[in-house]
Amino acid sequence: MSISWAVHRTRLLLIIFAAVLAVAGLLALTSQGASARTSGSRASHGGGGPKPVIVLEHGAWADGSSWDRVIRRLQNAGFTVYAPPNPLRGLPSDSAYLHDFLTQNAALAGHPVILVGHSYGGAVITNAAVGDPEVKALVFVDAFIPDQGETLGGLLGSVPGSCLGGNPADVFNFVPYPGGPPGDVDTYIKPALVPGCFASGLPGPAAAIIAATQRPLAASTLGEPSGTPAWKTIPSWAVIGTADKVIPPALLQSMAQRAGARITDVNAGHLSLISRADTVTRVIAPPITSCGPGTGRPPHSYPSGSCGPAETVVLLDVHPRLADTERDTRAGGPRAQTDPCRIFAIGGHAGHSVVWRTDRPDLGDSTRERRGVADRADRRRCARRVQSAA
């Protein structure tokens, strides 16, 4: 009898404990929702506004872990970051999934959002950001940037050179999946192709893990037309891997220019978010410039003479072996030229300040700004180069 009563008493305590947890969880959720709504109300009335939240969308044959290195750097810089799963079931449904995450998520209410997409994720954010006023900037990393009516397959076919082109049976393993359209299949990149194609430039062991853990893309996705593009109304940035073998750099370049994106070239393959995480992070949240995605304010939102279209954008040069550059593609934006010291100028204020970036292997990536009397010669030289190019 004593054992039976002990069991009964234990069960009763567990039931009471579970009920208490359930009530506490409900109260916490209600409190969070009220807090988010209050925050949203404050943001709508100006007063500085909250720090932007960064949402990262991964591409096909990948998952959220592909952003690990970027996430760690952004979190260390104090940003709140989300990397929701991309279902990879089709462009309309994947875009709707992300749109709901952005607009129906209490954690994002009242916060400006920097929306970042890699590869196929670029097509998803192009569609998902439409109609969401909180998305203040789009960042495309080795990504598709389709216009209305374009398909991923059509874009890839417009420029030769993709390592995923050719006979699909030689590139992919096909696996049926339940609930899909008739004849649709999941596509997996053949593992032997991953190191030299999808994960080119990464160490062999890392490429092998990517091959083993890849998440498949539904084949029908490649033929689905894109909708109204968000980049026509939202300022955009782009990172282009000049050694990308999946999306030819010429295609990446033309899409980014068409979108009016500010472009950063990196000497990397398709997975620059892994191999050049420092550079990708700087594009998302530039540490020294007063305009850019990381500030939560697009360049055109700044008053003239601060950081608007009439300004000279910060252009960056690095170690010759890495050859990163950043250039401005905005209409009317002057183009700076390099001087022998590989120093660029930013203008638009009284005088000029010199900004340069180095990617020395022994020091890691760094970005620095110089001002003061000692730099007047450099400023004059750079200023002349900028004025002559404007």
From the CA atom positions of the chain, what is the Rg in Å? 24
SS3 content of the chain, % helix, strand, coil (to 5): 40, 15, 40
Which pTM was predicted? 0.69
b/e per residue 279-295 (b: at least 16 CB within 10 A): bbbbbbbbeebebbbbb
299, 291 Cβ separation under 8 angstroms: yes
Alpha-carbon separation of residue 217 from 225, 321, 377 (angstroms):
16, 35, 55
Is 264 within 8 Å of 337 (Cβ atoms)? no
Could you tell me the residue ranges of all domains in the chain?
A: 50-300, 302-390
Tokens of 296: 């939560």
- The class that CATH gives domain 50-300 is alpha beta
**Residue among 265, 263, 262, 266 at smallest CA distance from 275:** 266
CA atoms within 13 A on the CB side of 15: 6
User: How far apart are alpha carbons 160 and 167 in whole angstroms?
Assistant: 14
| 101-104, Cβ contacts within 8 angstroms, sequence gap of 24 or more | 101/55, 102/55, 102/128, 102/129, 102/132, 102/134, 102/135, 103/131, 103/132, 103/134
Each residue's pLDDT expressed in tens, for the chain with a length of 390 residues: 443 444 344 344 333 344 433 433 433 333 343 333 223 322 222 235 678 999 999 999 999 999 999 999 999 999 999 999 999 999 999 999 999 999 999 999 999 999 999 999 999 999 999 999 999 999 999 999 999 999 999 999 999 999 999 899 999 999 999 988 899 999 999 999 999 999 999 999 999 999 999 999 999 999 999 999 999 999 999 999 999 999 999 999 999 999 999 999 999 999 999 999 999 999 998 643 345 565 444 433 333 233 333 222 333 333 333 344 444 433 333 333 333 233 333 332 222 233 333 332 333 333 333 333 334 444 444 444 434 433
Cβ–Cβ < 8 Å for 163, 193 = yes
Alpha-carbon distance of 272 to 94, in angstroms, equals: 23
Amino acid identity at 105 = N
Q: What is the pairing mode between strands 236-241 and 53-57?
A: unpaired
Question: Which CA distances in Å does 22 have to 19, 27, 30, 60?
Answer: 5, 9, 12, 37
Closest by alpha carbon to 239, among 80, 116, 369, 112?
A: 116
Alpha-carbon torsion (224, 97, 277, 368), positive or negative: positive
pLDDT in tens, 272-308: 999 999 999 999 986 433 455 654 444 333 332 333 3
- Report which DSSP code applies to 362: T
Name, in order, each residue with C-beta under 8 angstroms of 70's C-beta and a sequence gap of 6 or more.
Answer: 56, 273, 277, 280, 281, 284
- CB-based contacts of 247, cutoff 8 Å, min separation 6: 119, 142, 143, 144, 156, 162, 270
190, 172 Cβ separation under 8 angstroms: yes
Take residue 218 and report the two structure tokens written for it: 């539904």
